[in-house]
Copies of this chain bind each other. A is one copy, B any other.
Amino acid sequence: MAPTRYLRSSASRDVNPDLDVERKTPSFDVEKLTTILDGGAENTRVRRAVEAVIHSDPVLSREDKYFLSQNESYEAAVKKAVHLKKMMHQMKWTEAGLESKYCTRALGGEVAFTLHSVFMESILALSTDEQTAKWIPLAENYCILGSYAQTELGHGTYIRGFETTATFNISTQEFVLNTPKISAMKWWPGELGRSATHAVVFAQLYIKGKCYGVHPFIVQIRSLHDHSPAPGVTVGDIGPKMEFNHIDNGYLLLRDVRVPRENMLSRFCEVLADGTYVKRGSEKINYFNMIIIRVKMLSNEVVPTLMKACTIAIRYSVVRRQCELKPGDQEAKILDYQTQQQKLLPMLATAYAFHFMNQYMNELFSKGYREIKQRNFDSLPELHAFSSGLKAIYTEHCTAGVETCRKACGGHGYSLLSGLPSLYTRLAASCTYEGENTVLLLQTARFLVKCLGAAHSGQPVPPSVAYLSAANSERCLVRDKRDFLQPDVYVEAYRHVAIRVLSSAAAKLQALVQSGAEQHEAWHQCTVQLVHAAKAHCHYHVVKSFAEAVEKLGQEAGIQRMIKHLCGLFALHGIFSNTGDFLHDGYISGDQVDMMTASYLDLLAIVRKDAVPLVDAFDFTDETLNSALGSYDGQVYRRLYQWAQRSPSNTKQPNQAYENYLKPLFQNGLSKL
């Protein structure tokens, strides 16, 4: 695993011939596509420069990742994080800069101190200027390390239900924080388990017996002198997880923990010395920050994970040979099987679709940010609904997609050394964190139902739902399979379904209310269908954005042609996988489904040809992929063998199980043991 930057050194490498041939005649300029994906050649240059630095630093090597216990992972992550922060400080790379983003990418997101950033962001968002002046310099200089303690053992999504209390004591001018019962323990906050010295803790504020709802408080967790828990604090690690074992997610139990009045973050409300509660300003800007985190997570974590899984699985699938396609021939590359193409290539198309949707989202949110800075909050409900729904469908599709890629690699995909299991187990968390998907989809649905009502009564609606105002088309007019390759055709089909599914859910809702059901009960009875409507809305937007992005690639004919195939593949895969949605009201007929299927299968064969260049364009280094199956050179079997030999299951001698249990068994036999 010597550091290698393949794009600059491929000539000198011993590339598997089966993989090499896949790269001989790409139908487009791969390097150009990379720069488009990076958002410009300058970004590509910076990224590669950062990767060169990161990958040449032995402290930051991830080659032992798959062999570490939870404790070892944690220790390694802290060591790396301290080293990285020092390096960034020396290189003058700022936290908000491009380099920092590329550091995270190069390291596969496996860095500690993520929650420290959230701690700082929350202070910046929620504190007064004086509070910022006190805490931010300490945090920036790592004299303290922060966590963000919101979720409780018994409460996640429903913030109003939190049970931690902060009671104001006028005489001492302090808040007294308490965990009244086990379910009220803070549970999950990253870096709380073993590292953090401080945390922003959310608690129900009580003044003179009256509850004012949930507020943020800065609480010291551990001594700055010897790291022992602060008085009244019980703190620890929540134990092993499916992944993220390098992070010390923690629990926190508070017993009469006292913090000074100044420790309540008071940008939006303050408790005066006499116990008067003062509210000020709008929290909407804070709300927007929460949405922004969701959007960033999609570009920085969710979509790249699917891209990596596609890279590994597709490269492996042209190296792995199995069975004969034609009797008597050499065993065939598994990517030449239609069933393998049908597993992997739609996932590749999904990665591209979501990438282009991200670009669109980033533009939309930049615009939203400009408006909000001018205290115009009109677009907030739309941005919230949009980002919630997209977060849900991105994480759902990408998580399932990564697992599809993993399974498509058969037995070797089950080895941690393939890199695929940890991509899956890591991404699986994203369906829950930053908002549970079903809850988010229902928030999107609530917005959609409202907008549909507005649209029907002729009121103006936000841009992303303007399509609800137009009449719905009745029938798809396609007569030939090739027509299904036209973006107009499939975008319109998705639009039709989005309107139909939403209208149908809204009609049921209305009927229930009219027949006497209470609003909340009617809503409850429609939730399965409302979730469906929210997904259809988001799916339509992704297809539409992808088709629009293809249009914008006009300058690059080869790339445009290829990306248009991917756009078609993404759209038709969605129809193929959900034909019922399109058939339900006769918008398309069974015969048209057959045409669509034919076009879909044709596209698989077309995209197959350029599958390797299309994943090469993502330009992940071998070190970032950290996969025995997915390296640029395709030396799959050699690498699996080499890496396995490094496993502690081989290096740790002697074999205690043999010495203690097997040896006496073999020597005596079971009957005499």
Interface residues of A (CB under 8 A from B): 66-67, 69-71, 74-75, 78-79, 82, 85-86, 89, 140-145, 151, 153-158, 161, 182-183, 185, 187-188, 193-195, 197, 224, 227, 236-242, 248, 251, 320-323, 325-327, 331, 337-340, 342-343, 403, 407, 410-411, 413-417, 421, 425, 428-429, 431-433, 436, 438-439, 442, 504, 518, 520-521, 524-525, 527-529, 531, 578-586, 590, 593-594, 597, 601, 637-638, 640-641, 643-650, 652, 655-658, 660-663, 665-666, 669-671, 673
In the complex, chain B residues whose CB is within 8 Å of the CB of A79: 657, 660-661
B239 touches A416 (CB 8 A): yes
Contact A669 B143, beta carbon cutoff 8 Å:
yes
Contact of A671 among B141, B183, B421, B436 (CB under 8 A): B141
A157 near B649: Cβ-Cβ < 8 Å? no
If A338-B525, A601-B525 touch, does A657 touch B188 (CB 8 Å cutoff)? no
Q: Which residue of A71, A337, A521, A597 has the most chain B CB atoms within 10 A of its CB atom? A: A71
A-B contact pairs, 15 of them (CB 8 A): A71-B648, A75-B657, A78-B661, A79-B661, A153-B641, A156-B322, A158-B322, A195-B657, A237-B650, A239-B417, A239-B644, A242-B414, A337-B524, A337-B527, A525-B601
- Among candidates B66, B414, B428, residue contacting A414 with C-beta atoms closer than 8 Å: B428
Which 8 residue pairs across A and B have the least CB separation, nearest first? A579-B580, A239-B647, A580-B580, A237-B649, A78-B657, A141-B669, A583-B583, A242-B421
Which residue from chain B places its CB closest to the CB of A652 in the assembled complex? B71
Roughly how many angstroms separate A594 CA and B518 CA in the complex, as a whole number? 22
Contact yes or no, B82 A662, CB < 8 A: yes
Task: Assess the A637–B590 pair: CB atoms within 8 A.
Answer: no
Chain B residues whose CB sits within 8 angstroms of the CB of A342 once the complex forms: 528
Contact (A241, B414) CB under 8 Å given A322-B157, A327-B520, A658-B195: yes
Give the chain B neighbours of A594 by CB distance below 8 A.
Answer: 504
Assembly stoichiometry (copies): 2
Q: For A326, what are the chain B residues with a Cβ–Cβ distance below 8 Å?
A: 518, 520-521
Alpha-carbon distance A200/B582, docked complex (angstroms): 54
**Complex: how many Å from CA A590 to CA B589?**
12
Q: Given that A338-B528, A416-B241, A641-B182 are contacting pairs, would A323 and B158 also be in contact in the complex, using a CB cutoff of 8 Å? A: yes
- On whether the beta carbons of A648 and B70 are closer than 8 Å, the reply is yes
Query: Is the pair A411, B650 in contact by a Cβ cutoff of 8 Å?
Result: no
Given contacts A157-B323, A182-B638, A187-B411, list 19 more A-B pairs with CB under 8 A.
A67-B240, A74-B649, A82-B665, A142-B670, A143-B666, A185-B637, A185-B641, A227-B658, A237-B647, A238-B647, A241-B414, A325-B524, A343-B438, A411-B432, A413-B432, A421-B425, A425-B425, A579-B579, A580-B583
- With both beta carbons as reference points, the residue of chain B lying nearest to A529 in the complex is identified as B597
Nearest CB in chain B: distance from A577 CB, A: 9
* Chain B residues with CB under 8 A of A323: 157-158, 161, 439
Q: Could you say which residues of chain B place their CB within 8 Å of the CB of A524?
A: 325, 337-338
Which residues on B sit within 8 Å (CB–CB) of A601?
Answer: 525, 528
CB neighbours (8 Å) of A140 from chain B are 670
Hey, which chain B residues are within 8 Å of A662, CB to CB?
Answer: 78, 82, 145, 195, 227
With CB as the reference atom, state the residue of chain B lying closest to A66.
B240
B590 touches A586 (CB 8 A): yes
Report which residue of A415, A442, A649 has the largest number of chain B beta carbons within 10 angstroms of its beta carbon.
A649
Q: Once the chains are docked, how many angstroms separate the CA of A322 from the CA of B74?
A: 32
Residue picked from A85, A158, A580, most chain B C-beta under 10 Å:
A580
User: CA A143 – CA B670 in complex, angstroms?
Assistant: 7
- A153 engages B322 (CB within 8 Å): no
> Do residues B637 and A154 form an inter-chain contact, with CB atoms below 8 A?
yes
CB < 8 Å neighbour of A415 from B195, B238, B403: B238
Given contacts A411-B151, A593-B584, contact A339 B193 (CB under 8 A): no
Measured in the bound complex, the distance between the Cα atoms of B476 and A605 in whole Å is: 37
B520 near A325 with CB under 8 A, answer: yes
Q: How far is the CB of A623 from chain B (nearest CB, A)?
A: 19
Central interface residue in A156, A240, A578, by most chain B CB within 10 Å: A240
Give the distance to chain B from A143, nearest Cβ to Cβ, in Å: 5
Q: Complex Cα distance A251/B531, Å? A: 48
Does B407 lie within 8 Å of A431, measured CB to CB? yes
Q: What is the bound-complex CA distance between A236 and B645, given in angstroms?
A: 7
In the complex, A32 Cα to B156 Cα: how many Å?
38
B residues near A637, Cβ cutoff 8 Å: 153-154, 182-183, 185
Provide the residues of chain B in CB contact with A182, threshold 8 Å. Answer: 637-638, 641
* Complex contacts, A78 vs chain B, CB 8 Å: 657, 661-662
Contacts of A529 in B (CB 8 A): 597
Q: With A156-B411, A339-B528, A410-B156 as known contacts, state yes or no: A649 contacts B194, CB within 8 Å.
A: yes
Distance between A436 CB and nearest chain B CB, rounded to angstroms: 6
Q: Which of B410, B580, B597 contacts A593 (CB 8 A)?
A: B580
A644 touches B528 (CB 8 A): no
Complex: A188 Cα to B504 Cα, angstroms: 52
A145–B432 Cα gap in the complex (Å)? 45
Q: In the complex, A640 Cα to B75 Cα: how many Å? A: 24
> Once the chains are docked, how many angstroms separate the CA of A237 from the CA of B145?
40
Minimum CB–CB distance from A214 to chain B (whole Å) comes to 15
- Give A343 to B431 CA distance when docked, in angstroms: 14
In the complex, what residues of B have CB within 8 A of residue A414's CB? 241-242, 428-429, 432
What is the distance, in angstroms, from A17's C-beta to the closest C-beta of chain B? Answer: 14
| A328 CB, min distance to chain B CBs, angstroms | 10
- For the complex, what is the distance from the CA of A74 to the CA of B66, rounded to whole Å? 16
- A185 cross-chain contacts in B, Cβ below 8 A: 637, 641
Asked if residues B89 and A671 are in contact (CB atoms below 8 Å), the reply is yes
Contact: B411 with A188, CB < 8 Å? Answer: yes
Given contacts A141-B669, A601-B528, contact A649 B71 (CB under 8 A): yes
Which residue on chain B has the smallest CB distance to residue A579? B580
Instruction: Given A237-B650, A417-B240, verify A666-B74 contact (CB < 8 Å).
Output: no
CA distance A320 to B155 in the complex (A): 9
